[in-house]
Chains A and B, each alone.
Chain A
């Protein structure tokens, strides 16, 4: 504070000092943007999994392993679990489909069959088509585009089922009632929604569900909630400790979420090195300034500045440059995070660099996390202060007479 005008004078007249701040700003901006994208991935992935699964999924055992309980049995068993809001039975089954107009397995065009996860759910979009008796199917948007399917097309689904020790072929024809777009590219590519009752009829499935999605009230902790569900199932004799049936949404997508979390941390560490290198540049910049401004140091010492005053002045100058660079970097990073699609197109010369097939999402997810930003600024400041100490120490150790005599 005491030597602020001198610091301001140096900043005004030395572009090199400002370049150091700009270097830090660029490092901080890149890291901020990378963290925002990785946080976006994680948040949207979590949201997607949670929307899909609910707070927990119960995966019943098949009858031959002691399962075969009815939906009513589950409802009774779980009725007293605190925070329970709803149970939704679902029937999932895999099928193969061909391109538009192809009949699976009996048409040359069906050699490239695509696998689809048929999700039989209770809550499907409204469907009222008096012109057909075919059951409706809502197909993922990406799958529809890839297979050339349009609303109103009929689609033959081929599947297989074990019947009396043999594998039997199942054929079912649906009518495309519409497309679904979840935002998850992989889901939109390999999933289709059908009415659970329709699928149960086709599969002759009893009890008509292969999993139960459980939702709790907004305040439940998913992990504790899942534990309570499992305890209730065990108390009712539906599951055992050695074969738990309730799985939390987090455990269900555990490996994927863990991979993204690990990648976020790894990228954070790697990109922080860019910030460190930028901050390290302060050593060179301040050393240059100390050499150039030896006379000023001598004058200040003659006027009564203590070695500590000089040390603090140079450390504060380094800290200020880092702070200015960090704030500028945060602004740049925030702008970049909000204009990623534009930047992506500019970098790719009009083409998209972000491949939805690889990254699951059909857009670049972004979530700014200010706690991470705070850590980033804090660590940058610490690094800058650390790197400023050496030139500052050298400046403080200069002997006033040596400087004034060499004028």
Chain B
């Protein structure tokens, strides 16, 4: 693995205005993520973990600071440009799975590939093959036609992991991926997520409240008072 970071965030500042009051959530947070390494992001509720994930995932822009993804500054891209970059380089796993209820597990996994650049018609067969493999890699090859409502919570999160990794993203962002699962299922899901992220060489940032979860990552950062500190 290269020591050049996939993602570098420097001195990120973000302030929200709520009811006329300013709330500074990030006050100069900095972070480097390396390919194939998993990093846990811990902090109390409301400290800005999700905000930081949104900034790094190009869903929001910082007030100050720079974000370099694969060596390119990305913090001030247009909505359209950041969407395209997200489709290619960023995978998300959410606490509440966020699957599209009208689609089957297979179609949910395939969706990021449908949104990727280039003619869908020309590449549809290889993409479908890829989705099938992704579903098999999370152990759901036999549930491809099932809709999210026909799957358990753990199975839904497996589908979400397959969807996040189908494009082989450079960066995988997971926001409390086991928060909605029981302990045993959560542990299985975590193992799967970390294993696949490592296999694919993705830089993985995982927000969690659980020290046990964080212990399974390569390193841990704690977000406190708007700044990131390496865990002792």
User: Cα distance A300–B59 when bound, in Å?
Assistant: 12
User: Cα distance A195–B59 when bound, in Å?
Assistant: 92
User: Cα distance A295–B114 when bound, in Å?
Assistant: 19
User: Cα distance A404–B98 when bound, in Å?
Assistant: 9
For B52-87 the 0/1 string (1 means CB < 8 A from A) is 001001011000000000000000000110011011
Interface residues of A in 308-325 (CB under 8 A from B): 308-309
A172 at interface by CB-CB < 8 Å? no
User: Cα distance A6–B59 when bound, in Å?
Assistant: 22
User: Cα distance A400–B60 when bound, in Å?
Assistant: 9
Give min CB distance, B50 to chain A, whole Å.
8
User: Cα distance A53–B175 when bound, in Å?
Assistant: 85
A280 at interface by CB-CB < 8 Å? no
Interface residues of A in 349-407 (CB under 8 A from B): 400-401, 404, 407
Give min CB distance, B192 to chain A, whole Å.
20
Which of A8-16, A42-50, A58-66, A69-77 contacts the other chain? A8-16
Give min CB distance, A296 to chain B, whole Å.
6
User: Cα distance A307–B116 when bound, in Å?
Assistant: 14
Q: Known interface pairs A304-B83, A304-B88, A306-B80. Does A2 touch B120 (Cβ–Cβ under 8 Å)?
A: yes
Residues of B within 8 A of A296 (CB): 100
User: Cα distance A301–B120 when bound, in Å?
Assistant: 18
Q: Known interface pairs A305-B115, A401-B59, A404-B59. Does A10 touch B102 (Cβ–Cβ under 8 Å)?
A: yes
A6 engages B102 (CB within 8 Å)? yes
Residues of A within 8 A of B114 (CB): 2-3
B100 engages A2 (CB within 8 Å)? no
Interface residues of B in 198-218 (CB under 8 A from A): none
User: Cα distance A303–B92 when bound, in Å?
Assistant: 8
Closest to A308 in B: B80
For A1-35 the 0/1 string (1 means CB < 8 A from B) is 11101100110110000000000000000000000
Size category of the binding interface on chain B: 20 to 34
User: Cα distance A301–B86 when bound, in Å?
Assistant: 9
A302 at interface by CB-CB < 8 Å? yes
B121 engages A1 (CB within 8 Å)? yes
User: Cα distance A299–B103 when bound, in Å?
Assistant: 13
Interface residues of B in 97-114 (CB under 8 A from A): 98-100, 102-103, 107, 111-112, 114
User: Cα distance A306–B83 when bound, in Å?
Assistant: 5
B79 engages A306 (CB within 8 Å)? yes
User: Cα distance A298–B60 when bound, in Å?
Assistant: 13
B103 engages A303 (CB within 8 Å)? no
A13 engages B111 (CB within 8 Å)? no
Residues of B within 8 A of A304 (CB): 83-84, 86-88, 112, 115-116
Residues of A within 8 A of B57 (CB): 302
A299 engages B100 (CB within 8 Å)? yes
- Across the interface, B59 reaches (CB within 8 A) one of A12, A13, A305, A400, namely A400
B96 at interface by CB-CB < 8 Å? yes
Closest to B116 in A: A304
A9 engages B111 (CB within 8 Å)? no
Give min CB distance, B171 to chain A, whole Å.
13
Residues of B within 8 A of A309 (CB): 83, 115
Give min CB distance, A187 to chain B, whole Å.
60
Counted as pairs of residues, one from A and one from B, with CB atoms less than 8 Å apart, the total is 71
B132 at interface by CB-CB < 8 Å? no
User: Cα distance A295–B101 when bound, in Å?
Assistant: 10
B163 at interface by CB-CB < 8 Å? yes
Closest to B120 in A: A2
- Across the interface, B115 reaches (CB within 8 A) one of A5, A295, A300, namely A300
Residues of B within 8 A of A2 (CB): 114-115, 120
User: Cα distance A99–B84 when bound, in Å?
Assistant: 88
Closest to A7 in B: B102
Closest to B91 in A: A303
Closest to A303 in B: B112
User: Cα distance A396–B111 when bound, in Å?
Assistant: 18
Residues of A within 8 A of B99 (CB): 299
- Across the interface, B98 reaches (CB within 8 A) one of A302, A307, A401, namely A302
A307 engages B102 (CB within 8 Å)? no
User: Cα distance A381–B156 when bound, in Å?
Assistant: 39
Residues of B within 8 A of A305 (CB): 83, 87, 115
New A-B contacts (20) at CB < 8 Å, excluding given A6-B103, A304-B116, A306-B79: A2-B115, A2-B120, A3-B114, A5-B107, A6-B100, A9-B102, A300-B115, A302-B57, A302-B59, A302-B92, A302-B98, A304-B83, A304-B84, A304-B88, A304-B112, A305-B83, A306-B83, A307-B83, A401-B60, A407-B98
* 21 pairs, A vs B, C-beta closer than 8 Å: A1-B120, A2-B120, A3-B114, A6-B100, A6-B111, A300-B111, A301-B83, A302-B92, A303-B86, A303-B87, A303-B163, A304-B83, A304-B84, A304-B116, A305-B83, A305-B115, A306-B84, A307-B83, A309-B115, A404-B98, A407-B96
Residues of A near any B CB (own CB < 8 A): 1-3, 5-6, 9-10, 12-13, 295-296, 298-309, 400-401, 404, 407
Residues of B near any A CB (own CB < 8 A): 54, 57, 59-60, 79-80, 83-84, 86-88, 92, 94, 96, 98-100, 102-103, 107, 111-112, 114-116, 120-121, 163
